[in-house]
Structure formats: structure tokens, C-alpha cells
Amino acid sequence: MILASSGIGVCIEFWKIGKAMHIEVDRSGSIPKLKFSDRETYAGNKTKEYDDLAMKYLSYVLFVLVACSSVYSLMYETHKSWYSWILSSLTSCVYMFGFIMMCPQLFINYKLKISCSFTMEADDLQVSQFNH
């Protein structure tokens, strides 16, 4: 049951990647390789510019946070071995990476002024739906 739901999730993710990006199979070498490129509608868009800018700055934050977290863990937490410390550091890196990957959408919304058009009535309607 878990494998089935995971398999369906993987299929959905591949479908979403196919909708968002242009995928080609490069058979020029001995081993075929997948080549990913942005769709034309996204490549010339302001969203891509802001997305690249946000990821540039957020990657700097990610590297600093991972380094600081690893040093803090090494100095102030107890570990059974170096392997335990490395595994703990890599796990926190994955968690921080997941959080950082969600943040560019907030930057894009801010720069494109997407959420400015929402009214307080729409917010009140959403809150009132949760109260019933």
C-alpha cells in the first residue's frame, strides 16, 4: 500500500516535470542522457528572473545555515561517532533545503504584486468557512 502510493506520487511528479520543462533524450553518447530545458513561456518571463534571483540569495543563506548548524552541533551536542555527526548534519541540510525551496514563491509573489489584489472580504470568507 505504501509502495503503491509512493509509485503514484512519483508518476505525478514526473508528469508535473514534463508539463513544466522540455525534456529530451540525448543518445549521442554510449549512455542516453536526459536534457532538461525551460519551456519558452517560462524562459522569457519575469517569473524566471525573480526565481533565479531568489534562489541565488537563498542558496547563500542555506550554505551559511548548514555550516553554522553543523559547527554548533559538533561543539555543543554529543554524538557517538563522526558518522553520527555527519548523518545529523546532512539530515538538517535536507530539512533546511526543503524549507529554502519553498521560499522563492513568496519572493516572486512580492515582486509581481500577486497577492495585493486579494481583498479582506475574501479573507473573511475563508475564515468563516473554517468556523462552520
Is 16 inside any structural domain? Answer: no
Is 98 inside any structural domain? Answer: yes
pLDDT given at position 52 = 83
Number of domains in the chain: 1
pLDDT given at position 129 = 54
Going by their DSSP bridges, the two strands 21-26 and 33-38 should be labelled as: antiparallel
Is 85 inside any structural domain? Answer: yes
**CB neighbourhood size of 54 (10 A):** 19
Is 8 inside any structural domain? Answer: no
Is 129 inside any structural domain? Answer: no
CA–CA dist 46, 39 (Å, integer): 14
Q: What residues have CB less than 8 Å from 32, skipping those under 6 apart? A: 25, 26
Q: What are the mean pLDDT values of the chain's consecutive 10-residue runs (132 residues total)?
A: 90 85 85 83 75 86 88 90 91 86 79 66 55 54
Place of cell 468563516: 128
Handedness of CA 98, 109, 61, 22 (dihedral sign): positive
pLDDT given at position 122 = 55
Q: Which domain holds residue 87?
A: 45-118
Place of cell 555543543: 76
Beta bridge partners of 23: 36
**CB neighbourhood size of 104 (10 A):** 19
Is 112 inside any structural domain? Answer: yes
Is 102 inside any structural domain? Answer: yes
Cα 126 → chain centroid = 27
Is 56 inside any structural domain? Answer: yes
